[in-house]
Amino acid sequence: MQASLSQEPKKRLAAVYDWADERLGLTGIIDLARHKTVPDHKYSFWYYWGGISLFFFIVQVFSGILLLVYYRAGADAYESVRQITYDIKFGWLVRSAHSWSANLMVLAVFVHLFSVLFMKAYRKPREFGWWSGLILLGLTMVFGFSGYLLPMDDLAYFATKVGLEIPASIPLVGDLITNIVRGGQDVSEVTIQRFFALHVVILPLMYIPFLGFHLFLVQKHGNALPPSEEAKPMSERRFIRFFPDFFAKDMGMWLIALNILAILASLYPWQLGKQADPLASAPEGIHPEWYFMSQFQILKVFGRWFPGAAGEALGMLLFTAALVVLVLIPFLDPGSKSGRRARTVTYIGLGLLLGLIFTTIWGYWEV
């Protein structure tokens, strides 16, 4: 009697599973997960950073939708963020989580990009993974930039003003593009409204398909081996199962990320400054968010070194060159087995990374 009681639901569950399996091919998917393996070596730690970036993006979508419940774009923007921060229960926490997670997400995406670069994971057949990753990085930065203006406190206002200097210094068309993005000559309610549309509609609409494509490719090609592992004979390579071993570790990383985010967001709540006053003069040492600091500083010193428009033009030339190099990375290292070619990319990567860190620190030094 007892046996049949526990047997019945199991049988029924199996029947439901069979029904769905016939139509969805679930067994195939489960088999795939069961047989998928992930290389296990001393650089395996860096495989987690794509997943960590994904975790923070999920947090952004979730907390962002919560903010949308009370946020009002336009002239009322500051007042609505003030209400979220001081009036709505736990609103400070939701806002703090969104802001902290935004910064952690940008950081995770940068770490992911450089680990892919140094592990040479952009090589054939993974070129499209590299390019879609670059696009995701760009979109992430635009996400951060457009979101930062939305509370419209004095810091957001002036940081957006100076941040828009970067596109404005594109030769010839820079001013035109910037005025369209800004919706006028100056940052105003019009700017908030279009940054808002960008931030919550256009960017997610663009981001999610690229993310889907990126993840599809990761699944299709699996994790890349760094050259040092590739050089080893098959018998010396070690693998772990994707499911449940790698997956469990992945989730462990997410848990660590969640805890770090919870600690930062609750112990260091994101601040709200005074309401932006377009007639007030800028406070000392205004600068954009840290992930735009490098470009900001380069434009600043080039402006000092080269008079007039030349400085800006040279700065833009440098950014364009860096971008072109990043895009062409897979071709600079066409999967040749000789370590020589691959070393070129290592040097380029180190140059970029050190350049970014150096100009960022320099920028903070000067403000």
Partner 1 sequence: MLNEEVVKNIIDSADEDERDVLTRREFVWLGGAAVGAIYLGAIGYPVYEYLSTPAQRSAEAAAVTQTTLDNAANLPKSSAMMFKFGARPAMLIHHEDGSWSAFNAVCTHLGCTVKYEPEQSRIFCACHGGTYDPRTGANVAGPPPKPLTKFNVEVKDASVIISRA
Which residues are at the interface with partner 1 (CB under 8 A)?
A: 66, 69, 87-91, 93-94, 258, 262
- Return the one option of partner 1, ligand HEM, none that residue 204 interacts with (CB less than 5 to 8 A, by type): ligand HEM
- Return the one option of partner 1, ligand HEM, none that residue 258 interacts with (CB less than 5 to 8 A, by type): partner 1
Single-letter amino acid code for the residue at 136: L
Shortest CB 66 distance to partner 1, Å? 6
In the numeric block, which tokens belong to residue 152?
Answer: 């419209």
Distance, CA of 299 to CA of 286 (rounded, Å): 15
The DSSP letter of residue 153 is: B
200 binds ligand HEM (CB under 6 A): yes
In degrees, to the nearest 5, what angle opens at C-alpha 55 toward C-alphas 33 and 250?
40
Residue located via tokens 């997943």: 51
Distance, CA of 304 to CA of 316 (rounded, Å): 15
DSSP helix/strand/coil, 11: helix
Distance, CA of 27 to CA of 12 (rounded, Å): 18
Residue among 134 and 314 whose Cβ is closer to ligand HEM: 134
Distance, CA of 38 to CA of 19 (rounded, Å): 32
Residue among 232 and 274 whose Cβ is closer to ligand HEM: 274
Shortest CB 335 distance to partner 1, Å? 42
Q: What share of the chain is helix, strand, coil (3-state, %, to 5)?
A: 75, 5, 20
Shortest CB 90 distance to partner 1, Å? 4
- Return the one option of ligand HEM, partner 1, none that residue 39 interacts with (CB less than 5 to 8 A, by type): none
In degrees, to the nearest 5, what angle opens at C-alpha 213 toward C-alphas 136 and 41?
80
In the numeric block, which tokens belong to residue 166?
Answer: 């970067």
Shortest CB 84 distance to ligand HEM, Å? 6
- Return the one option of partner 1, ligand HEM, none that residue 198 interacts with (CB less than 5 to 8 A, by type): none
204 binds ligand HEM (CB under 6 A): yes
Binding mask of the shown chain, residues 134 to 163, with x at each position contacting ligand HEM by CB under 6 A: ------x--xx--xx-xx------------
- Considering only residues 72 to 101 of the shown chain, the ones binding ligand HEM according to CB under 6 A are 81, 95, 98-99
Total binding residues toward ligand HEM, as defined by CB under 6 A = 26
294 binds ligand HEM (CB under 6 A): no
Distance, CA of 364 to CA of 353 (rounded, Å): 17
From residue 294, how far is each of 14, 38, 286, 321 by CA, in Å? 57, 35, 14, 15
Single-letter amino acid code for the residue at 288: P
Residue among 256 and 332 whose Cβ is closer to partner 1: 256
- Return the one option of ligand HEM, partner 1, none that residue 280 interacts with (CB less than 5 to 8 A, by type): none
Site residues (vs ligand HEM, CB under 6 A): 57, 60-61, 64-65, 67-68, 71, 81, 95, 98-99, 102, 105-106, 140, 143-144, 147-148, 150-151, 199-200, 204, 270
